[in-house]
A = this chain, B = another copy of it.
Amino acid sequence: MAHPTSAAMKLPPFFEDDRIAVDAALERLLPQESTRPASIHQAMRYSVFAGGKRIRPILCLETARIFAADVTDALHPACAIEMIHTYSLIHDDLPALDNDDLRRGKPTCHKKFDEATAILAGDALLTLAFETIAATPVAPAQCVAIVKEVASAAGTINGMVGGQVADLEAEGHVVDPEMLEYIHRSKTAALIRAAVTAGALCAGAPDDDVVRLRRFGETIGWAFQVTDDILDVEESSAALGKTAGKDMAQQKATYPAIHGLQRSHEIANELASKAVAELAPYREAASRLKEIATYLVIRRT
């Protein structure tokens, strides 16, 4: 399959505005580096501000924007989900798990600090995420719904930690397509789905819309992980800012390994189209979400 042109691979322009808003909110929400005990706050900030693209918080904000002109309230769950994403990367990189030294082109948290600090910084970010959601300036019932959605997506039953465990268990084994799908939907799609759903809940979207957008989030999250698998094969470590080719070296369960590269590209595109179809009822109001969905499967990093 031919690579898309570089113009098509650029981040949509509104991404930058959202990213700046998210970074400013994270700056406010994370304790200062000088706050006692300093080392943990330095480690939390180091990893949160290590150059993430903020895809999950941006999906949260842009979903909220379908229903609300002002999406300031959604910054709380948006940042909370980025904290959870960051904690998962810190723990995933630990020697006992993926044992990775490089993340986004920088030393991983346990390399920059030490293992104890990295473990506790991950714990602290997960904890702060729920404190942050609880401080969302919306009605308590919405707040509780967001806590449920996010905790479930980050948990063990069809959630992020469950997917990480299944992913580790699958290393070196032949997995069937059903297990591969389970791993990807749990490990990655669940939290992306929660980001989208939290945006809808925060903006007071009607129940039907929450259900429809949850499907959008799940499907685009799945496409995102298939694309990640593809990039691990097709791109260099320099381009990715992390060790490329690692999935194959670790005998990870990936779409290219099971379905081949060409079919994996097709699957990613099919999933993205299916996701975008869910947005039809919102017409122009969902144009940004559509742009993100398209970007997520044509990106090269």
Using a CB–CB cutoff of 8 Å, the interface residues on chain A facing chain B are: 31, 35-37, 39-41, 44, 87, 91, 94, 96-97, 114-117, 119-120, 122-124, 126-128, 130-131, 133-135, 139-141, 143-144, 147-148, 151-152, 154-157, 159, 161-162, 164-166, 168-169, 182
Say whether A128 contacts B140, CB under 8 Å. Answer: no
A35, A117, A119, A164, most chain B CB atoms within 10 A: A119
Specify the chain B residue showing the minimal Cβ separation from A133.
B147
B156–A91 contact, CB under 8 A?
Answer: no
Set of chain B residues within 8 Å of A133, measured between Cβ atoms: 147
A114 to B168, CA, bound (A): 12
Q: Is the CB of A97 within 8 A of B122?
A: no
Identical chains bound together, number: 2
Q: Chain B residues with Cβ under 8 A from A114's Cβ? A: 96
The 5 A-B residue pairs whose C-beta atoms are closest, nearest first, are A96-B115, A131-B151, A140-B140, A134-B147, A140-B141
- From DSSP, what is the main secondary structure of chain A's interface residues? helix
| Beyond A36-B162, A124-B162, 4 extra complex contacts between A and B, CB < 8 Å | A35-B157, A94-B119, A116-B168, A123-B126
| Contact (Cβ within 8 A) A155 B143 | no
Q: Which residues on B sit within 8 Å (CB–CB) of A44?
A: 156
In the assembled complex, the Cα of A144 lies from the Cα of B144 at a distance in Å of 6
Residues B166 and A37 in contact, CB atoms below 8 Å apart: yes
The residue among A41, A140, A156 with the most chain B CB atoms within 10 A of its own CB is A156
Residues on B with beta carbons closer than 8 Å to the beta carbon of A35: 156-157
- Specify which of B124, B135, B139 is in contact with A155 (CB 8 Å cutoff): B124
Query: In the complex, which of the residues B37, B119, B141, B165 contacts A117, with contact meaning CB atoms closer than 8 Å?
Result: B165
* Residues of B close to A159: CB separation below 8 A: 127
Asked if A116 and B131 sit within 8 Å, CB to CB, the answer is no
Please judge, given known A-B contacts A96-B119, A134-B147, whether A161 and B127 are in contact too, CB under 8 Å: yes
- Nearest chain B CB to A216 CB, angstrom units: 23
Q: What residues of chain B lie closer than 8 Å to A94, measured between beta carbons?
A: 116, 119
